[in-house]
Amino acid sequence: MLQLSGVCKTYGPESGGYIALRDIDVAIADSEFFCLPGPSGCGKSTLLNIMAGFEPASVGSVTFNDDPIVGAGRDRMMFFQDAGSALLPWLTVEENMRFALRVRRIPKASWPDVIDKYLTAVDLVQHRDKFPAQLSGGMRQRLQIARALAVEPKVLLMDEPFAALDALTRRRMHATLLDIWQKTRKTIVFVTHDIGEALILADTIAVMSVGPESKIMQLFRLDLPRPRDLADPDLRKIAASIEALLAPEIDRSEARIA
């Protein structure tokens, strides 16, 4: 579904500019849960922005269902860490849903059924008359998910959506997101700092080198049943392999800063 071939991203002059990404080659399948874990500065968010069409690749091709990605598109929906800034604070939960449907020109006759369907999916039906400020952080993220799903995108691009939540709420959000993914089979590309989070969620984990000139060092395919437990020996082996890949990258980055 998403194909990146020879993608490079440079900021500044072509000669002597900052090279954020170099030679990214990756194919993300329909319905795949694809995770990009790693420390700050490895180009994860830049890569996600290129997939979203928010910024172009400097070199290489980026396609969605074989069509070049040029700008943002209805088929790709972006999620951010701060759901509060993504929601309209002067509108209620239901009004936020209606706004998204109106902007995407979804037929008005379908709105009540669509809103009920997705507010039920994220357990917010009983909160439909509340404003975002009256919701917890986890509830705001669930509303962001429901609002995105209501317009039927094919791909969810999620940039550390649960990073600001406490540990218990994050675990609940993992269960909610996996439940929705298993029911809808949307393609998800999920950026995270947390290797454990990626192990719990992903079909595929792409480990990136630390920038500049970040690249994908290795892909890990997780053919393991869900729900998963991080105490599982198979997951612990994968975690150890990922940490072994990242350790010298982090050391190199810290040495450069020092």
Query: Sorting pLDDT into bands at 50, 70 and 90, what band is 199?
Result: very high
How high is the pLDDT of residue 241? Answer: 95
Residue 117, in any domain of the structure = no
Strand order across the beta sheet in which 59-64 lies: 18-28, 2-11, 59-64, 67-68
H or E segment to which residue 50 belongs: helix 44-52
pLDDT for 33 equals 97
Residue 86 lies in a domain: no
For residue 166, give its domain range. 2-75+153-257
Residue 107: cis peptide before it, omega within 30 degrees of 0: no
Residue 193 confidence (pLDDT): 87
Query: What is the C-alpha separation between 215 and 195, in angstroms, rounded?
Result: 17
Question: What per-residue confidence (pLDDT) applies to 18?
Answer: 87
Average pLDDT, the chain: 90
Identify the pLDDT of residue 47.
94
In a domain, 144, yes or no: no
CATH number at residue 70: 3.40.50.300
Instruction: Give percent of the chain above pLDDT 90.
Output: 62
The answer, yes or no, to whether residue 69 has pLDDT greater than 80, is yes
Q: What is the pLDDT at residue 109? A: 94
Please state, in angstroms and rounded to a whole number, the distance separating the CA atoms of residues 171 and 6. Answer: 36
In a domain, 60, yes or no: yes
Does residue 131 lie within any of the structural domains? no
Please indicate, yes or no, if residue 160 is contained in any of the structural domains. yes
> Are residues 28 and 187 in contact, defined by beta-carbon separation less than 8 angstroms?
yes
252 pLDDT exceeds 70? Answer: yes
Residue 62 counted as domain residue: yes
Average of per-residue pLDDT across 163-172: 87
Q: Flag whether pLDDT at 30 surpasses 80.
A: yes
Has residue 81 got a pLDDT over 80?
no
For residue 135, being part of any structural domain is answered with no
Task: Burial-class residue 114 by CB neighbours within 10 Å (0-12, 13-18, 19+).
Answer: buried
Say what the pTM is. Answer: 0.89
Number of folded domains that form the chain: 1
The helix/strand/coil state of 114 is helix
Q: What is the mean pLDDT of residues 39-48?
A: 84
